[in-house]
Structure 1
Amino acid sequence: LFVFEANCINFEHTFNCQQLDASELSSSPPKKPAHTATKRSLPMRSSSVLRMASASVPKGNGLRPAPMALLPPIPLYRRLLRAHRKHLPSEMRVLGDEYIKAEFRAHRNVDNPAHLIGFLTEWQLYAQKIEGDEWRGEKIDPGKVAKMSDEQIGQLYELMKAIRERRERGEEEEES
């Protein structure tokens, strides 16, 4: 954090040294500030400051661990099926496996990189939740629902109906 603050101060100093007021915009070359170093007279670019800052500041906010690197599709697919096998009851596992297989098949030929990254990121977050057992009883984030397309909301509704139907069938079988 200290390195980040020092870089920000250095950036502000360099930026302020480069600013010209209206009197200096004449045809004469700009005056060099007296306090700049002779050896390093090139200004620090904002991109290099951000790069240095991001390298010195740990990712994550202390409450959450830093995000993992994005897994490629096939290892993520295998991880999801393994997580279902290990952490879900058999009935939920069957439904979840069917859904994962259908989604990965549907996204097999997607070319848009932003769409692929979003797809893989959300499935990886899902895998982390399933493996962590924090998902039980958790409600869907309203912000995520608001961002969903009509087609996605329809899929979510179909998934909810399938879960309820299987639950009702399971309760009927237990009574018999």
Structure 2
Amino acid sequence: MRASLRHLASHTPLTTPNLLKSEPVALLPPIPLYRRVLRSHRKLPRNMRLLGDEYVKSEFRAHRNVENPVHIIGFLTEWQSYAQQLEGDAWRDARMDKGKIDKMSDQQLGQLYELMQTIREKELKENDPEHQGEQ
């Protein structure tokens, strides 16, 4: 993301839907947000943290050169919301909003499906005695 667009992201208000605060929260620039998300992963179980860290790193790398301000704001908004959920333990029994799923592109849906499959495979390996030797 270009430096000129970083300052745009730092001054954009983000409303917090799950909190009862009336004041908007400023949107963090990419690098501080990246660090915040990785820090919030520290309290996750080891296997979830490793998977999450890999995913965060690849997503931020993939969006490094995006120049469309709308995409940048959307990207940063969603990751900041994710970090807030992790910090407040709101993620534990959370479900993805159907409206967000409906707005996803085919590529995003495919990526979400791949992530789900990876999580299921890891859970199977951890819980299935036959797969214990493969770890």
1:58-137 alignment, distance < 5 Å: 64-65=20-21, 66-85=23-42, 87-137=43-93
Distance, in Å, in 2 between the alignment partners of 1:72 and 1:125 is 13
Of 144, 149, 171, the match for 2:100: 144
Shift of 1:175: 8.3
Q: Which residue of 1 aligns with 2:8?
A: none
Instruction: Provide the secondary structure at the position in 1 that maps to 2:26.
Output: coil
TM-score, normalised with respect to structure 1: 0.62
TM-score, normalised with respect to structure 2: 0.79
Identity percentage of aligned residues: 63
Distance, in Å, in 1 between the alignment partners of 2:57 and 2:70 is 21
Root-mean-square deviation (Å) = 2.0
Between Structure 1 and Structure 2, how many residues are aligned? 116
Higher relative contact order (CA 8 A, sep 6+): 2
Q: What are the ranges of 5 or more consecutive residues in structure 1 without an aligned counterpart?
A: 1-58
Q: Which residue of 2 aligns with 1:6?
A: none
Q: Which moved more, 1:122-131 or 1:136-145?
A: 136-145
In structure 2, give the amino acid aligned to 1:170. Answer: E
1:4-83 alignment, distance < 5 Å: 64-65=20-21, 66-83=23-40
Is the 2:125–2:131 Cα contact (8 Å) retained in structure 1?
no
Q: What are the ranges of 5 or more consecutive residues in structure 2 without an aligned counterpart?
A: 1-14
Shift of 1:67: 2.9
Shift of 1:91: 0.5
Structure 1 or 2, whichever has the larger Rg, is 1
Distance, in Å, in 2 between the alignment partners of 1:175 and 1:154 is 26
Shift of 1:173: 5.5
In structure 2, give the amino acid aligned to 1:129. Answer: Q
Question: Structure 1 runs of 4+ off > 3 angstroms?
Answer: 173-176
